[in-house]
Amino acid sequence: MKQTIQQRITENLLRVRNLVFIYTTHLAGTGRGRRGAHQTDVLRSTVVLLHASLEDFLRSLAYWKLPSAGKGTLDDIALIGLGPNPKKFFLGELDAHRGKSVDQLIAESVNEHLERSNYSNTQEVASLLQAIGINIAAVNGHFQTLDLAMARRHQIVHRADRDETPGRGNHNVRSINTAQVSLWIDAVEQFTHDVLAQV
């Protein structure tokens, strides 16, 4: 499973880097000055795909590791079919699951839980990693950079990266550049490498 997760994040980051390449070779143009939003929207798309790649990586780890987690971690996951909030349930709730093994029922409950999961900041990332037994101190060296990338992805997805700052000379869309995006890509790549070294 580890090799599959490694291959998948590698392929996804190649896709992300390809978008930067497309921008650099076809849209960046020459000369100084800020590029327009129509050109730099490719970089904004890159940030969104980068975050999706990170979430896919984390969710893949969770699908693999969470079903075998201990009681404390599993207590935070609802029984499949009972909604998103974990709670005590009557024995009758298990009637719909007759014939399943306990391991199968746990795995299905974890899978349903993960379908609703997202990772919008490094606190959420750290919480997941702790739940699957990762030493946070060994992987948090890039958390500050990851938080910046995640915050920007939120700005892009939920606000179309609009810049509402009043004043002369301001643009309607926030500035973005390849150096910034490349730094975020490198941080995700190193972070995922560090995490995989522990599993």
Asked whether 23 and 46 are in contact (CB, 8 A), the reply is yes
Q: How far apart are CA 93 and CA 104, in angstroms?
A: 15
Q: For the whole model, what pTM was predicted?
A: 0.85
Asked whether 161 and 44 are in contact (CB, 8 A), the reply is yes
Token pair belonging to 126: 């750290």
User: Among the residues of 75-177, which ranges form H helices?
Assistant: 102-115, 122-131, 143-159
Single-letter code of the amino acid located at 197: A
Q: What is the pLDDT along the chain (199 residues), one digit of tens a residue?
A: 999 999 999 999 999 999 999 999 998 877 676 777 788 999 999 999 999 999 999 999 988 988 887 777 776 776 677 666 767 776 776 767 777 777 776 777 777 767 777 899 999 999 999 989 999 999 999 999 999 999 999 999 999 999 877 655 557 889 999 999 999 999 999 999 999 999 8
